[in-house]
Chain A
Amino acid sequence: MMHYDFVFSGFGGQGVLFGSQLLAYAAMEAGLHVTWIPSYGPEMRGGTANCTVVISDQEIGAPVLRRPSAVVAMNYPSVQKYEPLIALGGLLVYNASLVVHPPTRADIRCAPILASEIAAELGNPKLLNVVLLGALLHLTGALPIEIVEHALEAHLPARRREMLDANRRALWKGAEAAQALLAPA
């Protein structure tokens, strides 16, 4: 049985919604069951927003979790909020560009990705969400990156079409950065 759950968390404007929806679209196009749910409380109006995505090859029960198994944290408040919650052996992919105090838990995998820097090198700091998604996909193997590329093509809003290539490169750069973390020093 295939079952993944992910939380995406960050400031409003960091692309929490788009990054997580991209994953949900890709899962749907891969023929899987998927649920996507945003926090829709007052935190949407300033502060940290989050979305939960569950992907499975079977009917999905709970679309929300108390202890997620993988978290993408785009800012420091998100690391603070989710580090203690992640399930044993889970994964924390975080934007190391914005996180001053790295996570300390030894019973989860932590992947510091310099997402803001990588995004800036690609020409747009806003791509940090897609960079982190690339890293997440590489580290979990939940879906092939090619399927997410396809979802990008289909769902990038028309006004952002000129960013399609940069988004694609951001996915692969994120995966490369994750790969580098695992490489022997």
Chain B
Amino acid sequence: MARQLMKGNEAIAEAAIRAGVEAYFGYPITPQTELLEYMSRRMPELGRVFLQAESELAAINMVYGAACAGRRAMTSSSSPGISLMQEGLSYIAASEVPAVIVDVMRGGPGLGNIAPSQSDYLQMVKMAGHGDFKPIVLAPATVPEAVQLTGLAFELAERYRTIVTVLLDGVLGQMMEPVELPPMRPLPAERPAWSLTGAGGRAKNVILPFRMQPDDLETLNVRLQRKIADIAQHETRYKEYLIDEADEPAELIVVAFGTAGRIALSAVKEARQKGIRVGLHRPITLSPFPDKRLSRLADEARGFLVVEMNAGQMLEDVRLAVGGQAPVRFVGRMGGQLPMPEDILQAIEKLDAEAGRLLDHKIEGPVTLLSTARLQRRQTVN
């Protein structure tokens, strides 16, 4: 099939349609709105459900209802809207029904701004709502990867009866890249055995977001935890660049996801040209996090550099995985600003010079939060 130039938001919408989404519920918010807009046109064309809800709370509860009825359902939003959905997400998790959520992150906290950010990492990866649960979180770095992971999101949601979040930022939502779309997947002919389709002639199905008896709730909790462990074992995904180079394996590892990951790739390539033995590890599943692989890399690596468009949220997970075996430095920007390849290159060079020394006395490594003011001061000094 021919390549098409598509915006991330629209490509994700079309990928969801081709993955067989039957019902979309949402509420507009920048930088995600094109996804909803695209759905408003395409879903009715195909005789499927599009509904612009009165709020994000309503949208997530419509997803919940449709999912309970065995329909392939999704919603999309951006950071403040996702916060409003937390209660519904927790109910969906307790009910063990599949749902796909797209979060096109923007600057925060509060209403923040509409610029790209990765500051929902902890919120989406650790819980996404109250109570003990963890959704699967997929983090694309390119528009073609966003298409691929959207398809995967529906598969995993149904296989594990869980929430799957596609987590990206405004850059990826707004940018265009050539994509090859997958073929249209047929809609399910039958509803899942557990779904609420009317009990006529069979034993009734019950889906509840509560278990009043502690013994019963504990049973659910244990099952959810087993599921999380099972997912970690089978679904952990990442992509690596310039790490296992035959003659010059990487001594320094940059860890970054999504847009920060692809920006870091430019810096890593430049650093390699300067003779620094550095590679990039880009987690694709943020939950489950590729901690085993990072821990293995830490056996050999001299140092790690985490790059994020936030104050250092995934940094916590990298530190846990590295477990003090090597220094972990951080460079990032907040406020909807992007770290640029030259900022990352500078941090790689610093790490290269300091990695041996840092290991002796400061295992964690320093955190560098760049800002416009700080970058201007740097320029003046140079």
Report A's interface with B, CB cutoff 8 A: 21, 24-25, 28, 33-38, 40-41, 59-66
Contacts and interface: CB of A to CB of B under 8 A. Distances in A.
Given A24-B5, A64-B338, A40 B170 contact: yes
Contacts of A59: 265
B342 A35 contact: no
Contacts of B263: 61-64
Nearest to B266: A61
Q: How large is the interface on B (under 10, 10 to 19, 20 to 34, 35 or more residues)?
A: 20 to 34
B187 interface: no
Most buried by B among A24, A34, A36: A36
B176 interface: yes
A35 B340 contact: no
A61 B265 contact: yes
A25 B2 CA distance: 13
Given A40-B30, A63-B262, A28 B175 contact: no
B170 A34 contact: no
B277 interface: no
B3 interface: yes
Nearest to A39: B174
A41 B171 CA distance: 11
A62 B3 contact: no
A21 B259 CA distance: 21
B264 A21 contact: no
B114 interface: yes
Contact of B175 (A33, A35, A61): A35
A40 B31 contact: yes
A21 B340 contact: no
Contact of A34 (B171, B178, B264): B178
A62 B340 contact: yes
Given A21-B5, A40-B31, A64 B174 contact: no
B31 to A, nearest CB: 6
Given A61-B263, A61-B264, A62-B262, A24 B170 contact: no
Interface string B1-17: 00101000000000000
Contacts of A34: 5, 177-178
28 contacts: A24-B176, A28-B3, A34-B177, A34-B178, A35-B177, A36-B5, A36-B175, A36-B176, A37-B174, A37-B175, A38-B174, A40-B114, A40-B170, A41-B114, A41-B115, A60-B262, A61-B264, A61-B265, A61-B266, A61-B267, A62-B265, A63-B171, A63-B262, A64-B171, A64-B263, A65-B340, A66-B340, A66-B342
A35 B259 CA distance: 12
B341 interface: yes
B242 to A, nearest CB: 11
Given A37-B171, A40-B30, 9 more contacts: A25-B5, A34-B177, A36-B177, A38-B174, A61-B267, A62-B266, A63-B259, A65-B341, A66-B342
B269 interface: yes
A40 B174 contact: yes
B332 to A, nearest CB: 15
Nearest to B173: A40
Interface string B233-261: 00000000000000000000000000100
Interface of B: 3, 5, 30-31, 114-115, 170-171, 174-178, 259, 262-267, 269, 338, 340-342
Contacts of B262: 60-63
Contacts of B340: 62, 64-66
Contacts of A33: 178
Contacts of B177: 34-36
Which 3 pairs between the two chains have the least Cβ-Cβ distance? A61-B266, A61-B265, A37-B175
A37 B31 CA distance: 13
A35 B114 contact: no
A14 B264 CA distance: 33
B341 A61 contact: yes
Contacts of B3: 28
Nearest to B143: A35
A55 to B, nearest CB: 11
B8 to A, nearest CB: 10
A36 B262 CA distance: 14
Nearest to A20: B176
A62 B264 CA distance: 7
A38 B176 CA distance: 9
A104 B113 CA distance: 35
Contacts of A28: 3, 5, 178
A58 to B, nearest CB: 9
Nearest to B375: A66
Contacts of B265: 59, 61-62
Most chain A CB within 10 A, of B114, B175, B263, B264, is at B175
A110 to B, nearest CB: 23
Contacts of A35: 175-177
Nearest to B263: A62
A35 B269 CA distance: 18
A62 B5 CA distance: 18
Nearest to A29: B3
